[in-house]
Amino acid sequence: MTVLIEAQGLTKQFGSHVALDHINFSVETGRIVGLIGPNGAGKTSAMRAILGLSSYTGHLRVLDQNPRRDRAKIMRDTCFMADVDVLPSWLRVDQAIDFYAGVHSGFRRDRAQAFLAKSQISTTQRVRELSKGMKTQLHLALTMAIDAKLLVLDEPTLGLDLLARRSFYDALVNDYMDETRTILLTTHQVEEVDNLLTDVMFIAKGKIVLNVPLEELATRFVAVSVTPDALEAARAERPFYEQRAIGKRILYFEQPDLSKLTLLGEFHTPSVSDLFVAKLSGTTA
């Protein structure tokens, strides 16, 4: 596997505010990485640095290029979809296809048209006449047709209804993703993507709080439902988060001693969204 994105000591400051604080991570080919964090955590700053859209300090390589200097080269193999309203409203669908075909050497017009044929979009429509869902479909059609190695999605489904969100992620997995592609995405709706991701990266206050492949999640984290009488014993095992539930508490452990925990109560692997809450709410509630 090749490393597609590599960041070491990546830092971004706006005046005295530190948006990214010396973060290190790498993303390999074939992964679907979810960059998850609360508002203002630094997700967008990280994406913009990766795409060469903003300045930064530290070491950063994307597709073997320096993003700050070679944004245009990175964009030959990268597609960036910020939330839906970035398509220029005056652009006509056929113009968008012509323009992509003109500036992207690997653009496959037939593929874009085939994808659009499945939608309600006609080629003579302007972007301003399309609904939010249709705009996303158009952007996705253009993306599919350039064979991008790296797809960067910043809140791609913001403002879409449930059906449109579902069909967006379906298209992503079925029509786009294969072992040569890589996706980096941010979203607030964690529960919608947690069965899609291969890796999760939690970011808070400009630092990476957790960076783990999903297959390791089960061995690393355990949530135990504990009845009040076993609570003291369970707390002795040092959970990093406690969640109140009816008649019991759910305690979260990182790299626990399973032999001890089995005696305390029922346990399960936490979902990504549970883990997100647990990790980012700080220590014991």
Partner 1 sequence: MKNYQWLIRREIWENKAIWIIPAALAVLLVLTSLFGTLTGDILLGGSSASPGNTLTLSGKILLLSVSSVFVILLPIYSSWYLLDSLYADRKDRSVLFWKSLPITDTEVVLSKLLTALIIIPFVYWVIANLTALLVAFIVAVRAGAAISGAVWRLDLWLQIETLWIYLIITAAIWYLPVAAWLMLVSAWAKRAVLLWTVLPLMAALLVERWFLGGQIFAQLVLNRIFTGFLPAILASRGDSDTFVNNPAPIWSMLDPRGFVSSYSAWVGVLVGVALLYGAIQMRSRRIE
Tell me: does residue 149 bind partner 1 (CB under 8 A): no
Please report how close the Cβ of residue 26 comes to partner 1 at its closest, in angstroms: 22
Please report how close the Cβ of residue 186 comes to partner 1 at its closest, in angstroms: 14
Measured CA to CA, the distance from residue 228 to residue 247 in angstroms comes to 8
Q: Of the two residues 78 and 137, which places its CB atom closer to partner 1 in the complex? A: 78
**Residue in this structure with the two tokens 């203002």, named with its chain if needed:** 40
Please report how close the Cβ of residue 52 comes to partner 1 at its closest, in angstroms: 8
Neighbours of 245 (CB within 10 A): 9
DSSP single-letter state for residue 263: T
Q: Of the two residues 58 and 213, which places its CB atom closer to partner 1 in the complex? A: 58
Start-to-end Cα distance in the chain: 40
Site map 203..242 versus partner 1, x via CB under 8 A: ----------------------------------------
Q: Of the two residues 48 and 279, which places its CB atom closer to partner 1 in the complex? A: 48
CA distances from 25 to 3, 45, 84, 159, 281 (A): 10, 14, 27, 30, 23
Residues of this chain, 84-123, that bind partner 1 according to CB under 8 A: 85-92, 95, 99-100, 102-104
Site map 165..204 versus partner 1, x via CB under 8 A: ----------------------------------------
Q: Of the two residues 88 and 282, which places its CB atom closer to partner 1 in the complex? A: 88
Q: Does residue 145 contact residue 111 with C-beta atoms inside 8 Å? A: yes
Q: Of the two residues 91 and 230, which places its CB atom closer to partner 1 in the complex? A: 91
- Measured in whole angstroms, the distance separating CA 15 from the mean position of its chain's CA atoms is 27
3-state secondary structure string across 151-181:
EEEECCCCCCCHHHHHHHHHHHHHHHCCCCC
Please report how close the Cβ of residue 90 comes to partner 1 at its closest, in angstroms: 6
Q: Of the two residues 40 and 88, which places its CB atom closer to partner 1 in the complex? A: 88
Please report how close the Cβ of residue 99 comes to partner 1 at its closest, in angstroms: 6
Measured CA to CA, the distance from residue 74 to residue 123 in angstroms comes to 28
Site map 38..57 versus partner 1, x via CB under 8 A: ----------x--x-xxx--
Total residues at interface with partner 1 (CB under 8 A): 29
3-state secondary structure string across 191-256:
HHHCCCCCEEEEEECCEEEEEEEHHHHHHHEEEEEECHHHHHHHHCCCCCEEEEECCEEEEEEECC
Residues of this chain, 60-89, that bind partner 1 according to CB under 8 A: 71-73, 75-76, 78-82, 85-89
**Residue 27 phi, psi (nearest 5):** -125, 130
The residues of the shown chain that bind partner 1, judged by CB under 8 A, are 48, 51, 53-55, 71-73, 75-76, 78-82, 85-92, 95, 99-100, 102-104
